[in-house]
Structure 1
Amino acid sequence: MATRPGILIDWQPLGSFKYMILAPWAVHSTYSFMVKGESERDIFNILILPFLLSRMLHNQIWISLARYRTANGNHRIVDKGIEFEQVDRQRNWDDQILLNGILFYVLYMILPGTHNMPFWRSDGVVIISLIHAGPMEFLYYWFHRALHHHYLYSCYHFSPPFFHCN
């Protein structure tokens, strides 16, 4: 986590109220789901918020498990313990979920055809699974690994937003 995050992911000035950013869309989707008739209800719009909450729970479970294993000490990569400053920098891990929520709500309202999607398509599940398990995981691994290279790591973690590393 960057010490000085860039734009679109710096929700710190809002404190605990940062979750209120999603409130207008959550209220709108709930209201439209309750008011519209059975044939006009849009199930995907109402499922965005539970989807985001499940991602938060999923992330928290993995973070807690990783910290437990690190504290346990049996599977450490480096013999050095975690410093409190690092834990403080990583406490805003849910900012990316807020950004995803805004993007999901806005794109769902803007993009044509999103309101007429079928609830389930087996061929879509297979295609998305192959895309995610193949190129996306490959790219994510190498991008993450590149960010831990000394040059990129120091630029990302210790420079102000829109940095210029030499």
Structure 2
Amino acid sequence: MFPRIKAATFTMIAVAAGKALAETHTITFNNNCHTGTPMLISQTGQVLSTGGAFTSNGPLRGAIAYLQTGNCGFNGEGCTLLETTLVNPSTPGTGSSTDLSLIPPHAFSVATGFGYIGACAPAGADCNNPNCTTAFHVQADPPVQVPCEQDNADLVITFCL
């Protein structure tokens, strides 16, 4: 009987440890424009959210977000674009990274900002106008990515700041 109790205890500890170590990232939207549809699109072109909170159970790589005002292409063409990778760092410099982009075919459409929630708060960026310095305008721009080197980074994206 004792070996069964040991096995059951070990199993419970392993399950609890696995849950404690599980990687998750949640993206939420704050649409102050009161019009348009927040879009979150995966790297593979899958619509992940149209405004509701989205939780990734594992890394989220190469996702994009924008406010669909009726003038945006499916990949945010013609609109202010947010690009994000949310991943727990395995070594220094390999954690989450988020940025705003106005590199053509993207263009300023609505004021857009983001901020990490939790350990990396208040890190983030806002772009309030077509000439904001917190967004990429051409590929050669100085880096404007905002990193988060903490596990389970969550993000809030705000439109019409």
TM-score range, shorter chain: under 0.3
Structure with greater contact order relative to length (CA < 8 Å, sep ≥ 6): 1
The structure number with the bigger radius of gyration is: 1
Q: TM-score, normalised on structure 2?
A: 0.26
Q: TM-score, normalised on structure 1?
A: 0.26
Q: Which has the higher helix share?
A: 1
